[in-house]
Structure 1
């Protein structure tokens, strides 16, 4: 067998049968019985491990008995949108200030879904960043209720304005607006400096 001939080799669920008539391809048989041409570099790198049956089985395992897949898909879509969609209303507070999604989640909803379910996701819950100045990745995220998410955002915020420390409620009252308005800015991802600028733009009695 030539050095570059992979005949007889096994890669994931693929067994190489013979070289293909197409350059740099091999005829391979998947353990499920499907036979097709597969690129040599995809076999060697692990990019191709099966005909697709492995992914389908993974989907079945992840989603089996999960009526909440659709709601999780919305959570995922919102996460990606506010970080990468420049037309999103929340982009300025996320992607616009450098908040990103880790590659493994960005490239695969299924990888994200597996993490979410393992960490207790169900309909009505959402994803929360532990450190709001860092991005979306497993070590910085948790599954929480909306109220817990709001508490995280609120508890992390103390505003230093003109040398004086204010809680969000105190600052909102001083500016003559509802605290819920300021909490909404924070919920959408506004930084402390952005919140202070908004407060002063509305009204601020020095």
Structure 2
């Protein structure tokens, strides 16, 4: 837990940190309350901290604070990035990996159709021709 807290502090305040440009360099901060480790630790424990989880900012452009953070599995966190492309179709919003899983279409196929061919729904989701 202390490693998580320290990493959060470093990437938001230390310009020499390799991740600073993606966090502190673009204005992401840690709330005043969490600058004190014991406050962060108390929040973490009361909000389901577990060594298998990682801290997640709900709003990727928001600060690290109790109202904007939660604990989630690492695999889920990979989805919540500024670079994630969200595709809305038939009233559902998913990223390319989620659509791949839901429709049974190979991820590489959807990725290539979207980025190389510029396809969008519904054409993007048509079955692969054999």
TM class by smaller structure: 0.5 to 0.7
Determine if the alignment matches structure 1 residue 138 to structure 2 residue 69: no
Match of 2:6 among 69, 77, 81: 77
Q: Give CA-to-partner distance per residue, 1:150-170, whole Å, 9 cap, x none.
A: 12237x7338xxxxxxx6945
For 2:65 and 2:23, the matched residues in 1 are separated by 14
TM-score by length of 2: 0.64
Cross-structure match for 1:105 = 34
Cross-structure match for 1:57 = none
Which structure 2 residue ranges, 5 or more long, are not aligned? 87-95, 98-110, 117-130
For 1:115 and 1:170, the matched residues in 2 are separated by 42
Structure 1 residues 1-206: aligned runs within 5 Å: 72-106=1-35, 108-153=36-81, 157-158=84-85, 169-170=111-112, 174=116
Cross-structure match for 1:32 = none
How has the CA–CA distance of structure 1 residues 173 and 78 changed in structure 2, closer, same or farther, with 3 Å as cutoff? same
Cross-structure match for 1:34 = none
For the aligned residue pairs, the C-alpha RMSD in angstroms reads 2.6
For 2:22 and 2:113, the matched residues in 1 are separated by 20
Larger Rg: 1
User: What SS is found at the alignment partner of 2:81?
Assistant: helix
For 1:113 and 1:171, the matched residues in 2 are separated by 45
Give how far 1:125 is off. Answer: 1.1
For 1:105 and 1:147, the matched residues in 2 are separated by 25
